[in-house]
Structure 1
Amino acid sequence: MNLEINFVLPHWLYWSALFFLPLLVMWLVDRSFRRGGTISGGDTGEVPGEAPVARYHPPGNLFTALVDRISGFFGRYVAYWALIAPFVFAYEVLMRYAFNSPTNWAHESMTLMFGMQYLIAGAFALREGGHVRVDILYQRARPVNKAALDLLTSVSFFIFTIALLVTGWKFFSQSVSDRFFFGASYANETSFTEWAIQFYPVKFMLFFGALLLLLQGIAQLIRDVQAFRHHRRAHGGSHTFSTLLIALGIVLGAWVLFEMVNIATTDYQSLAGSLENSLSGLGIGGLTLVMFGTLMVVLVAGLPLAFVTGGLGVAFLYLVGDQHMLNLMPSRIFPMMTNYQLSAIPLFIFMASVLEKAGIIEELFDVVYKWMGGLKAGLAIATVIASTLLAAMVGVIGAAVVTMGLIALPAMLKRHYDPEIAIGSIMAGGTLGILIPPSILAIIYGVIAQQSVGELYLGSLIPGLLLAFMYGFYCWMRGTLNIKMAPPMPVEDRVDMKEKLRLLRNMLAPIVLVVLVLGIIFTGIATPVEAAGIGTFGALVVAALHKRLTWPNLHAACMTTLVASAMVMWIIFGASIFVGFYILQGGQTFVQELISGAGLGPYAVLALMMVLLVALGMFLDWVGILLLAVPIFVPLIQSMSFDGVFGLPGVSPADVSLWFGVIYLVNMQMSFLSPPFGYALFYIKGVCPPHITMGQIFRSSFPFLGIQALGLILVILFPALVTWLPNLAYG
């Protein structure tokens, strides 16, 4: 009997759903809040949190208030699109296996939907402070100097945003018609699948997202000016440095305006005094120094990473090339916003948020604590185990560290745990989300390095579990050697086996969810993106079973997902321009020749890369490091032979890329714990009691950093830890 269902989603229905569904959800959410609905759980977005401090908040004006409302409306509007994806991917898998009717439109529709969401969400993330900045000098500056730095570095933001606005409009107009919008050559451009959806609404979001971002940036500039004036009046002392920063900002701003006039009024002949094409004669060695030296200087000034890399990428496109090279911008961003694999990022973050709102994470910790609490350092071991299970559910670092900090840290401090053991176990356990499937970093690495995400997931499973065991063993050893540092659970708090089994029954649904998500990935039943969609659908079911599937909770999960995924994707957009241009100029070949010309063996080159990655991890976030380093490192590693050291087995040439990918993931775990700017250090600081100092947090990270370094060495020396499981599964 033929059960095939050949339904293809009509274009009008797709666009209607994207247009009308958010309006319906807005009405339902607002009605629920009016009736007294509340949000369960906390905020576990992938954004570093810090203890609230008293600081000046610029009042803004009518314009800033209007722009905030516009950004808020469109951010909320596209955030609710995330509710569609779980049902579409569940439908696709059902059709494929139950009715032998696979679809292309399901994958393509969701990929394009998330691509549009990333672009529109940039302004909302900027309003909410969700874009990651590197606070090396910025946090230590006086308030007046900090305000001056904000004004100075905003030049890079406007370079990036205005260039995207202009080139995005041209990119969009060319896909509509050769008769309208000044377009040419790509009339009514459609996708290459049988669904043949029009691309121009998607490409329009490059322009529209840049427009929203520009408006929000102008509003932020107004507030920065107000903050500068306030701090200049309120604080005494010398203002020489801040005045110099403002003067430099004015000069740079004037130069940008002049170059905009040059672009608007000329084609192939620049105006006198223009710097267009002024660096064209610079060799690749000099260009490397200029590009990355400038990057480091601007990074430490505190501008969000996405706009640092994006703005500098635009500047060098113009200075080394010419105004026509700026049209590379949308052609670099569009493939990223429509990349199918990257669609798993918002889905896994959404899954994490739904589970947190459902109270699953809190229940998970309670169950593990009751089972393990009788051991010496049992509470710290329970934290590591719960974090490992949590990593297998969500793959989101911030969610794990913040949530376990809120739940486990008070419990350990109440039972007189040494703060350094308590904090270290939470941070180390939380970072397992970067390694244990479904890791979001593995998804992005797979896209950049052209490596199978499924193989990366299988390859990272054993190293992840090995590190979790090593964390737990270290906690047990410390508790055994000095019971006062990590005392076991008091006898009166322990429960019998019957109660333990009853508690375990409460975890049946989330455990089934973990097995389902990882099982369908490892068995090849579904792609990681489909697994993320099905996992999110399962998370909604679990939330419903726990009677936490409410409109306020869905709203909170959607908004958390929006800010977190926008932060990641805008860093990818900015870095793809910067790194893409550098590679286009021959930078990849230059670095490879520089390293290979040093006469180092393969393992020495690998060790050098590891040191460089650890150093970068002290200052940059994980997405930035990946976009800057991986495109250069991976081709060099793939060209080398690793035959083993100390008589140990080597790595098959076919497995080198996979092996290096997992080594990279383990190394990135270290970046989260590396003082002075590892993000886990600041995640945990945001939920620590006031008496816990940053010095204590730094000290608590050192033993676990040592364990991570040992894990890295083991993975390098024994590559079978990585390759055995993927080879077993995929041959």
Structure 2
Amino acid sequence: MEWLYPFSVLVGSVVVLMGLGLPVAFAFFTTNIIGLMLFFGGTRGIVQMVSNFSEAVGTYTLAPLPMFLVMGSLYFRSGLGERVINALDLAVGNLRARLSYVTLASGAVFAALSGSSLANAGMLSSLMAPEMLKRDYKPRMAYGPILGAGCLAVIIPPSTLAVLLGSLAQIDVGALLIAGILPGLILAMMFGGLIWFQAHRDPQAAPQYAIAPVASGEKWKAILSNIMPMSFLVFSVVGTIILGIATPTESAALGCAGVIILLVIYRKLTWGVIWRSLDDAMKVTGMTFLIISASMTFSQIFAFSGASNGFIQSLIALDLGYYGIIALMVVTILILGMFMDQVSMMLITLPIFMPIAAQYGFDTVWLGLILLLAFEVGLVTPPFGLLLYVVMGAGSRQGVTLSTVAMAALPYVGVTILMIALIVIFPQLALLLPSLL
């Protein structure tokens, strides 16, 4: 049990430092210094950590990350997102819970364009939540679809979290992005079924109201002018990867170019939009690359100290079996998700999970998608689910509480866990499309 000492020191230090409020990257850097002094040759290890910086962030697989962020930010900053919502609102018609369906559909479209859960939830919260509450929608029908739609960006490409996971875990980023398409669409339909069930079980939760009739011609005009052009962007990013025309990095560049073309066509391209979009992407990219630099050294220390191998051998000795190991991984992430953000969870768990996956012969793309869905749940679980606070911030004028949005998210958490179980039982849900690459 000699591995328990380095394991406790490394994992315990990270958890304590983040619990004290230290930023994620600095918590890992501090832990790295402690680990290097204890297990990695002292000051010589510090030199190794510094030399890791350029190697960690200079990988080709990370190149799509800033470009996907620029693409999504250009799309939202320009106001094209509002045009899509208005077009979907016309297309849905006079259904019960129509605004909930519009929110979910908008979130699915935005997920295929931005790759950012926080951006999706923030936009939908500010545009849709006030209107739904004004129409006397109950909180679970107003906030639940926003939270569910926001989570779709975790697995529907171009997911920035999938790019990061693939880079950290040495998983084929293109295959991981493509693997999320089919489960993402199924999950969106399952969320739609949940809205239908909630609305019909309690009709007062989403009161039906009269809307002005709209001619079919006007509906089709709105769809063709505001929604169909987005398929051009989806093909630029996803279609080019599937057809083998472009790598994920090249498809990200094509996506940015596609957004710029649309902005020119719609006369929305301004220097202000470009500057704010680049600023958004630069802040997130800088933070992410700093964290990745810290994570590489953490993984090295974890392996060199014997903590990783000792923990793996102890788990194998328990003989939990194929499904038992998967269940243990998912439950671990679900618990951590209540207290940590997704990047922190990745940095702590991947050095442990990926060697275990190699021991058991798991398909890394399949496992990566399961982990992404588990990370997705962490976005909407209290007390630290990031999307909960995004929705609360947008709804502060209505006095929204954490418990209100958490209860609205609960059914969507259950549906996502069901989706994880389906992928475990039917791996082809995740592997069918990547097998076509």
Normalised TM-score (structure 2): 0.96
Question: Following the alignment from structure 1 to structure 2, what is the Cα–Cα distance between the partners of residues 316 and 472?
Answer: 48
SS in 1 for 2:433: helix
Give the fraction of aligned pairs with identical amino acids, expressed as a percent.
Answer: 29
Contact 1:336/1:573, CA 8 A, preserved across alignment? yes
1:350 aligned to 2:70? yes
Q: CA RMSD, aligned part only?
A: 1.6
Question: Following the alignment from structure 1 to structure 2, what is the Cα–Cα distance between the partners of residues 328 and 373?
Answer: 61
1:597 aligned to 2:304? no
The list of structure 1 runs, each at least 4 consecutive aligned residues, that deviate by more than 4 angstroms after superposition, is: none
Contact 2:88/2:102, CA 8 A, preserved across alignment? yes
Shift of 1:580: 2.4
1:699 aligned to 2:430? no
The C-alpha deviation readout for 1:107-152, integer Å capped at 9, x for no partner, is xxxxxxxxxxxxxxxxxxxxxxxxxxxxxxxxxxxxxxxxxxxxxx
1:664 aligned to 2:371? yes
Q: In proportion to residue count, which structure has more helix?
A: 2
Task: Tell me the equivalent position of 2:127.
Answer: 407
Task: Tell me the equivalent position of 1:390.
Answer: 110
SS in 2 for 1:484: helix
Which 5+ residue runs of structure 2 have no aligned equivalent? none
Question: Following the alignment from structure 1 to structure 2, what is the Cα–Cα distance between the partners of residues 494 and 346?
Answer: 43
Task: Tell me the equivalent position of 2:25.
Answer: 306
Shift of 1:562: 1.1
Question: Following the alignment from structure 1 to structure 2, what is the Cα–Cα distance between the partners of residues 422 and 568?
Answer: 32
Task: Tell me the equivalent position of 2:420.
Answer: 712
Contact 1:456/1:661, CA 8 A, preserved across alignment? yes
Question: Following the alignment from structure 1 to structure 2, what is the Cα–Cα distance between the partners of residues 692 and 514?
Answer: 35
Aligned pairs (5 A) from 1:242-321? 283-320=2-39, 321=41
Contact 2:57/2:292, CA 8 A, preserved across alignment? no
Shift of 1:332: 2.1
Say if 1:673 and 1:373 are closer, same or farther in 2 by CA, change over 3 A. farther
SS in 1 for 2:373: helix
Contact 1:572/1:623, CA 8 A, preserved across alignment? no
Contact 1:417/1:485, CA 8 A, preserved across alignment? yes
Question: Following the alignment from structure 1 to structure 2, what is the Cα–Cα distance between the partners of residues 373 and 300?
Answer: 48
Contact 1:388/1:429, CA 8 A, preserved across alignment? yes
Task: Tell me the equivalent position of 1:335.
Answer: 55
Question: Following the alignment from structure 1 to structure 2, what is the Cα–Cα distance between the partners of residues 491 and 502?
Answer: 22
Contact 2:151/2:376, CA 8 A, preserved across alignment? yes
Shift of 1:640: 1.9
Contact 2:104/2:145, CA 8 A, preserved across alignment? yes
SS in 1 for 2:211: helix
1:447 aligned to 2:167? yes
Decide which of 220, 226, 242 is 1:501's aligned counterpart: 220
Contact 1:463/1:722, CA 8 A, preserved across alignment? yes
Say if 1:422 and 1:373 are closer, same or farther in 2 by CA, change over 3 A. farther
Task: Tell me the equivalent position of 2:383.
Answer: 676
The C-alpha deviation readout for 1:663-689, integer Å capped at 9, x for no partner, is 111111111111111111112122113
Which 5+ residue runs of structure 1 have no aligned equivalent? 1-281, 642-652
Shift of 1:373: 4.2
Contact 1:614/1:670, CA 8 A, preserved across alignment? yes
Question: Following the alignment from structure 1 to structure 2, what is the Cα–Cα distance between the partners of residues 369 and 487?
Answer: 16
SS in 2 for 1:434: coil
Shift of 1:510: 2.2
Contact 2:11/2:348, CA 8 A, preserved across alignment? no
Question: Following the alignment from structure 2 to structure 1, what is the Cα–Cα distance between the partners of residues 117 and 7?
Answer: 32
Shift of 1:711: 0.9
Shift of 1:494: 4.1
1:376 aligned to 2:84? no
Contact 2:87/2:222, CA 8 A, preserved across alignment? yes
SS in 1 for 2:180: helix
Larger RCO (alpha carbons 8 Å, 6+ apart): 2
Contact 2:337/2:379, CA 8 A, preserved across alignment? yes
- Bigger drift between 612-621 and 492-501 goes to 492-501
Decide which of 388, 396, 406 is 1:689's aligned counterpart: 396
Q: How many residues align?
A: 434
Contact 1:442/1:665, CA 8 A, preserved across alignment? yes
Contact 1:401/1:680, CA 8 A, preserved across alignment? yes
SS in 2 for 1:602: helix
SS in 2 for 1:619: coil
Question: Following the alignment from structure 2 to structure 1, what is the Cα–Cα distance between the partners of residues 188 and 59?
Answer: 32
Task: Tell me the equivalent position of 1:461.
Answer: 181
Decide which of 596, 613, 623 is 2:343's aligned counterpart: 623
Task: Tell me the equivalent position of 1:156.
Answer: none
1:324 aligned to 2:44? yes
The C-alpha deviation readout for 1:254-298, integer Å capped at 9, x for no partner, is xxxxxxxxxxxxxxxxxxxxxxxxxxxx94211111222222211
Contact 1:614/1:667, CA 8 A, preserved across alignment? yes
- Bigger drift between 312-321 and 498-507 goes to 312-321
Question: Following the alignment from structure 1 to structure 2, what is the Cα–Cα distance between the partners of residues 453 and 323?
Answer: 35
Letter in 2 for 1:637: A
SS in 1 for 2:384: coil
Shift of 1:442: 1.5
Decide which of 418, 422, 425 is 2:145's aligned counterpart: 425
Question: Following the alignment from structure 2 to structure 1, what is the Cα–Cα distance between the partners of residues 21 and 413?
Answer: 26
Contact 2:115/2:153, CA 8 A, preserved across alignment? yes
Question: Following the alignment from structure 1 to structure 2, what is the Cα–Cα distance between the partners of residues 565 and 684?
Answer: 24
Contact 2:302/2:351, CA 8 A, preserved across alignment? no
Contact 1:435/1:464, CA 8 A, preserved across alignment? yes
Shift of 1:449: 2.4
The C-alpha deviation readout for 1:351-372, integer Å capped at 9, x for no partner, is 0111112211111111112212
Letter in 1 for 2:309: T
The C-alpha deviation readout for 1:495-550, integer Å capped at 9, x for no partner, is 23211101012223222111222111111101111111111111111112222211
Contact 1:459/1:726, CA 8 A, preserved across alignment? yes
The C-alpha deviation readout for 1:638-697, integer Å capped at 9, x for no partner, is 3226xxxxxxxxxxx6xx222111111111111111111111111212211331111101
Letter in 2 for 1:675: P
The C-alpha deviation readout for 1:355-414, integer Å capped at 9, x for no partner, is 112211111111112212422212111111110110111111111110111111122112
Question: Following the alignment from structure 1 to structure 2, what is the Cα–Cα distance between the partners of residues 477 and 484?
Answer: 13
1:517 aligned to 2:237? yes
Letter in 2 for 1:558: L
Question: Following the alignment from structure 1 to structure 2, what is the Cα–Cα distance between the partners of residues 704 and 350?
Answer: 29
SS in 2 for 1:487: coil
Contact 1:431/1:669, CA 8 A, preserved across alignment? yes
Say if 1:715 and 1:424 are closer, same or farther in 2 by CA, change over 3 A. same
Structure possessing the higher radius of gyration over alpha carbons = 1
Task: Tell me the equivalent position of 1:723.
Answer: 431
The C-alpha deviation readout for 1:294-352, integer Å capped at 9, x for no partner, is 22211111111110011111122123331111111123221122111111111011101
Task: Tell me the equivalent position of 1:154.
Answer: none
Decide which of 526, 546, 550 is 2:246's aligned counterpart: 526
Normalised TM-score (structure 1): 0.58
Question: Following the alignment from structure 1 to structure 2, what is the Cα–Cα distance between the partners of residues 723 and 411?
Answer: 40
The C-alpha deviation readout for 1:404-426, integer Å capped at 9, x for no partner, is 11111122112111122211110
